[in-house]
Amino acid sequence: MAEVGWKAGSEERAFVCRRVHLQGEASASGVRREANAVTDIPVDLVMLDGASSSLAERIGLEGWFCMRKVHARVEIDRVCIEYESWRYERMRKVTQRIRALDDITLSISPGEVVGVRGPNGSGKSSLLRAMCGVHTPVSGAVLVFGKPPDLFDPEFKRRIAYSSSRRTSLLPDLPLIDSFILRRELFAMPRAHWEGRMHSLVDRLSLGALMNRPPREFSQGQRARAELAIALLHGPSLILLDETTETLDLEYMPRFLALLDELSTDGATVCMISHRPDDLECAHRIVTIDGGRVVGDERVRGEATGT
């Protein structure tokens, strides 16, 4: 694809759709639904003919994308989450139910930055995945934006971002710019809004020199910066970071924490997991989880300024 620097050319939508080989049959309306193999979160893939015009302009989604910002309040009431585990004993398969979260109650206000810590296997990731609707509680209730999280609700998906160190949202063999373009199409972002946010994030996280390189060539720190930029690109109201910052180079940590603080001031709610205390410096609260239970909830900064 011919580009000037790393600015996307006019044929980028057709290029990305052709190169990523998205599977599934299109419906008569041109919209098809499939599971995103990268994040386990279903996404609506809108495939229309024509590459030069913005997808949002073509299907009238600009008003939907630019809807009034809704601040995220998370309410978790006595939630229990279980999953099935198995092992072999004497050549026989033995299954058992493992309780990842055990009667957890937690409330997160709009604009709050909450750090989550605890030993491995304590239930931290299960907590975040419950917030975004990947895990369904066997008892109790999770409310996000005032209702249970629904992965098949495009408005809900538009308002959240989930990034994990164990998964990637990047196209490994294509230039990084193509991952930004694909994200724009998945969220039907208006072109001007997409360009503004992309340039801002690329500048803040020093990604300019990487935009024409495939992520498979990145170091761990470079990949972490790219993952964070992709996660924040569409302007989510609820940001869930599952150890994504742990591979971030220490020299970039202050500017990323400053970025999270700005997003919090603007009303975004952030919940982040990390084993490094320095990663949680911007948190208003530190929640400690052990054995699937909340064993500590300490306020370390003033009240959130977002409303």
- Which range is least confidently modeled, 9-13, 110-114, 180-184, 223-227? 9-13
Instruction: Residue 93: give the domain boundaries.
Output: 74-299
Same domain, residue pair 179 and 288: yes
Could you tell me the CATH number of the domain that includes residue 89? 3.40.50.300
Lowest-confidence pick of 15-19, 123-127, 266-270: 15-19
Structural domain total, the chain: 2
Indicate whether 286 and 254 sit together in one domain. yes
Surface-to-core class of residue 22, CB atoms within 10 Å of its CB (0-12 exposed, 13-18 middle, 19+ buried): middle
Q: Could you say which DSSP state residue 136 is in? A: P
CA 304 – CA 283 distance, rounded (Å)? 10
Point out the domain boundary residue: 21, 39, 65: 65
**94 pLDDT tier (thresholds 50, 70, 90):** confident
Please write the tens of the pLDDT for every residue from 72-86.
899 999 999 998 888
State pTM to two decimals: 0.76
> Do 51 and 146 belong to one domain?
no
Beta-bridge partner residues of 144 = 74, 147
98 and 53 in a common domain = no
Domain end (from 65, 86, 104):
65
Q: How far is CA 115 from CA 112, 279, 301, in A?
A: 10, 9, 12
Q: Are residues 30 and 179 in the same domain?
A: no
Q: How does pLDDT run across 114-145, given as a tens digit for each residue?
A: 999 999 989 999 999 999 999 999 999 999 99
Where residue 196 falls (left for φ over 0; alpha for ψ -120 to 50; beta otherwise) is alpha
